[in-house]
Amino acid sequence: MRPLLFHHAAFERHDTGRGHPERPERLAAALRGARAWGGEVEERAAPQASLDDLHGVHDAAYVAAIRDFCAAGGGSLDPDTVAVPESWSAALRAVGAGLAALEAIDSNEATVAFLAVRPPGHHALQARAMGFCLFNNVAITADRIGGRGDRVAIIDWDVHHGNGTQDMFYTDEKVLYVSLHEFPFYPGTGWLDETGRGAGRGRTVNIPFPAGTAGDAYAAAFDRIVVPVLSEFEPSRLLVSAGYDAHRDDPLAGLLLEAADYQRMAAALATLGVPVIYFLEGGYDLPALEASVAATLLGAAGHTALAPGPRSPKGALQAIELVVDEISEHWKGVQGA
């Protein structure tokens, strides 16, 4: 079954300005990668979400404020986050792509979808734009799944912690959030002791890595933590905040992943036999973005990569042990070495 590829020309018209890393050229790079993974894709236009769709996780007043801000000409929402009049349509379609992909998967039209969308979403809070993000695309789709009583897991491999996504589901037992990210780093959240609260206790799993971490540590984290936790949680759908800024060539971060590492992670998720929707988040080196998107779809098709060599600093492997100790009371399948 061919993976679905959602995109739209509106995403290119979200103009963040000269020199901004989250630029329109990222879309073309992601599309080149998705079309060159080694098999066919079925391309679909991302539809606009409705206001009601956004209200599942965002305050109505905030949604209206973003709409009015764009209509008035846009500008800077914070030092990093920019909107122009065309950003409103792009943001609605970035949300709509996730909901359309979910509908297609629910109808057995596909088991994998890749969303080449912008603006990204995982930093967006309930009532605040930040980190290049206006609306939380992955959270809105997760809320739709959880709202019908199904379990959903979000895997976030963007180099930055998805603070917005974590915040929205921190007390929700039906949504599992697992993040692998550089720490300490923007936005300052995502330490390993952030594991959820109330009914959501244990449903947040943070795997913070030091600068210099490479693919060997990510492979170990998937083997020791991510796959066992997902297997135990038994989600009906997997959503991936697929940022590619942990790549060694990315200009905004300090991790050392390669395209093959994204292939390996996607292949590990494919072994679970659960439909997956990949949401484009970060990734600011265009050749690295193109290669990593292609590798992701190759892995999603079940083609794994060779095991990485040991390259990470000692602290990266120590972080894995600390996370195992922190979450083992919540997950039987996670044990010490």
The DSSP line for 35-80 is HTSSS--EEEEPPPPPHHHHTTTS-HHHHHHHHHHHHTT-EESSSS
Radius of gyration of the chain (CA): 18
Averaged pLDDT of the chain: 97
Measured in whole angstroms, the distance separating CA 211 from the mean position of its chain's CA atoms is: 20
Instruction: Locate 122 and state its tokens.
Output: 């995982």
Identify whether 337 is part of a domain: no
Task: State the pLDDT at residue 148.
Answer: 96
Catalytic residue, candidates 7, 8, 14, 123: 123
Identify whether 73 is part of a domain: yes
pLDDT band of residue 55 (cuts 50, 70, 90) is very high
Identify whether 83 is part of a domain: yes
Using CA atoms, how far apart are residues 282 and 285, in angstroms rounded to an integer?
10
pLDDT band of residue 72 (cuts 50, 70, 90) is very high
300-324 pLDDT, tens digit per residue, is: 999 999 989 889 999 999 999 999 9
pLDDT band of residue 336 (cuts 50, 70, 90) is low
Using CA atoms, how far apart are residues 336 and 321, in angstroms rounded to an integer?
7
Task: State the pLDDT at residue 101.
Answer: 99
The 10 Å Cβ neighbour count of residue 85 is 14
Identify whether 120 is part of a domain: yes
The number of folded domains in the chain is 1
80-102 pLDDT, tens digit per residue, is: 999 999 999 999 999 999 999 99
CATH code at position 32:
3.40.800.20
164-182 pLDDT, tens digit per residue, is: 999 999 999 999 999 999 9
Check whether 337 has a pLDDT greater than 60: no
Please give the share of the chain, as a percent, with pLDDT higher than 90.
Answer: 97
Instruction: Locate 266 and state its tokens.
Output: 């996607």
Identify whether 11 is part of a domain: yes
Task: State the pLDDT at residue 92.
Answer: 98
Mean pLDDT of 114-133: 98
Mean pLDDT of 316-335: 95
Identify whether 335 is part of a domain: no
pTM beyond 0.85: yes
Task: State the pLDDT at residue 179.
Answer: 99
Task: State the pLDDT at residue 325.
Answer: 97
224-258 pLDDT, tens digit per residue, is: 999 999 999 999 999 999 999 999 999 999 999 99
Distances (CA, A) of 251 to 20, 27, 112, 224, 243: 12, 17, 29, 29, 13
Identify whether 263 is part of a domain: yes
Check whether 270 has a pLDDT greater than 70: yes
Contact between 112 and 120 (Cβ < 8 Å): no
Residues near 336 by beta carbon (within 8 Å), at least 6 away in sequence: 321, 324, 325, 328
Please give the share of the chain, as a percent, with pLDDT higher than 70.
Answer: 99
What residue numbers bound the domain in which 58 lies? 4-327
Task: State the pLDDT at residue 232.
Answer: 98
Using CA atoms, how far apart are residues 235 and 151, in angstroms rounded to an integer?
5
Mean pLDDT of 201-212: 98
Q: Mapping DSSP to helix (H, G, I), strand (E, B) and coil, where does residue 149 land?
A: coil
Identify whether 33 is part of a domain: yes
Q: Is 123 a catalytic residue?
A: yes
